Structure 1
Amino acid sequence: MIYTENLYNAVILENSSSIRMLRVITGYSSGSFIERVLNDCPNVSIELYIGMALQGISKIDHLRYINLSKQNNVKIFYVHKLPNVHQKIIEITGENRKKTTYVGSANFSENGFEKQSEILTTIAEDLEDVFKVVRQQCLSCVDKEVFCYIPLVNSQISEEIVKDREIDHRNVRMKNLLNCDEYLKIPILRKTWRKGVAINAKEPYLDLVGTAYSQFFQGEKEYVVNFRDKKVLIEKYGDFGKRLRFKNIDLREVIRKSLAIQNDEITFKEVENLWILIEKNMLNYRYDMEIIVNIDGSDEYFTLD
């Protein structure tokens, strides 16, 4: 059967209750699309291979892929060895292990399934050998070696713009906490905190409990930090100065915009790998601030712009 319209409806929604496994090879995808499929298919497991990852993965998508991969039913891989993989294969395993395989032009993304004119058709052939070949070219998105190969970019990768474009993957901007002069790494939320506190409070703040704030901030209550080409005034307040507020920016809105969060309330799941990093340069007493992604206690991180 050939499909040229309403691909998401025809392939995903009409089978949503019976899908048990989705194995996908695609040029491009997005974290929001995977989240949508997981929401629409309550019993599904997903194994996704992103074939054009060497062209770049957006920082937001990479963070979402990492968070999704913490679930037992999601595995996401990046092709990190040439040649790039531009195949589009969707293998659905339903009840009673019955398999249906689609091939065509549609990437496993909002663009591929809804916004562009694409085609998918079912085939009878077993493509297990194709999956095996692609798997040998891949790294898991949670593998620390990813940063050696895959460019992490600030904006969403456009399927039309980057097609067949080569990127020097050596330009990945990774940093190391060990190279900081003196720094304070502050969580945005903690798992045990209730709703409506810290970044979600009416007047957003950062909770400094559990950090070495008393040694880092000495004497003054107010400090000027450099953040994204802007000078931001921060203030310690509360019992023993355990809270930090930002007087001339709305930090919650900055984070929501950076992560493309739609809801007003930011959840722990959305920011569990995100931290506010304030670095103090002892030579000129300069304070610099960044929003960083730092995973599993590693010394390496990248900035979220």
Structure 2
Amino acid sequence: MNLYYENLYENIIKESFEKYDVLNVISGYASASFVNLVLNDFPNKEINLYIGMAQQGISKEDHYKFCEICKQYPNVNIYYQTEDVPTHIKALEFTNNNNEYKKLYIGSANFSETGFMKHREVMTAVNDSLEVKLREQYKISTSCTNPTILKHINLIDQNHFESGLELLNKNKNKRRKIDKCIEEFNKKNNIHFNKHNNGSLEYLSLPIIIKDTHYDETSIYQYKSQNFVFHSHLQRKKMVDYFKRNHVFTIKTFINKKTSVELKGTFGKELYFYDFDFYDLVKDVINKPRDQVLTNDDLKEFGYNSFYFKKINDKEFLMTLHNNNEI
């Protein structure tokens, strides 16, 4: 089995079209400019392209170019998947008109310039047939030139794509900055994640949000009129033993914010933050709008689901974030 990491266009498309007349493609995404590139080199070949992630939207520019391509080249058919679960397969099957000889490639590259020419991708030739998958894909797809296609597919302006990418990159950059901030804070303060430390007199790990099915964990209290970390009776003893009740102490967070804190409530289940809105702080850290409820899915995506406290003395504590799988 040969693996292809470089020169995918030359090694797969150009080389295969010297031997075969038909190319059937299933690809999560595709670009009209890449289809045009292939057709400029091989204008007489037949291409059947199925775009499996089309239900997420097709750029307006690509859509109209796809339609133009199909009109200009009678041997080219471009389909958008309009039903069922989105398809993220990347597979290219070369064959002859008699369907007698075939060559199948699968891997990570979408049918686009970024997939075949810019990104680091891998493809491999396999001894198999795409025939069954092609029939399945045909049944759940619609031609891009179908008069009703825009009832099934949203066209997205390219500027919207670019702003979305900018936002994604911004969020990724913020995540990297937060990771770095936490890493430096932990290193500077000699904070170590260790299952033997958890629940000791020096360290305490508490989940940020109550699990959906078991009310036995900590949570940021999700009401704007209140600003405390709440937990159940099963966690109460840990909190009381660790923080002590009815006295004010200081917590320094991983973003170097300090706040006065007090463990209060009838059963000692409420950890009050006096100097800033802790609820909004966590949302700001993970890019969650303040008017929305924080969920476990948010934290899972962000990569941190727990507080981790280190006691300096009875009046001073440090607080960082971590994933509870680390301890």
Structure showing greater Rg: 2
Higher relative contact order (CA 8 A, sep 6+): 1
Higher helix fraction (1 or 2): 2
**Could you state the TM-score of these two structures normalised by the residue count of structure 1?**
0.50
